[in-house]
Amino acid sequence: MQPFGVTDKDRTPNGCTPNSKLIFVKVKIVPSTVDGRHQLLTSYLINDTLAVDAGSLSIGLTREEQLRLRSIVITHTHFDHVASLPLFIMD
């Protein structure tokens, strides 16, 4: 879908319109096992300050990474999405 009045010839080589700004988002899948081969719990870290789900926050993040978190969004309350939330809160 293109903004109204913008054609493909108006776009820059990276696909943006001349007045648009690129926004970069850092996403990290928080590991839930030591070897990282199997992902059993669900947690994503966005820009180091937002966690989406808390399955492995206290397991896969260092203390410093945990302290940088400002918000946690829980998508739903299945165990694999909230497992480490009590441990994270206690820390």
pTM for the full model?
0.71
Domain that holds residue 75: 20-90
d(CA 54, CA 72): 7
26 part of a folded domain: yes
Report how many domains make up the chain.
Answer: 1
49 part of a folded domain: yes
Give the rounded percent of residues in the chain with a pLDDT score beyond 90: 52
| Residue that wins the pLDDT comparison between 67 and 8 | 67
| pLDDT mean over 55-59 | 91
63 part of a folded domain: yes
12 part of a folded domain: no
31 part of a folded domain: yes
**Do 51 and 68 form a contact (C-beta atoms < 8 A)?**
no
- pLDDT for 24 equals 84
Residue 16: how many other CB atoms lie within 10 Å: 12
25 part of a folded domain: yes
69 part of a folded domain: yes
**Do 84 and 42 form a contact (C-beta atoms < 8 A)?**
no
Q: Coil, helix or strand for 58? A: helix
pLDDT band of residue 75 (cuts 50, 70, 90) is very high
6 part of a folded domain: no
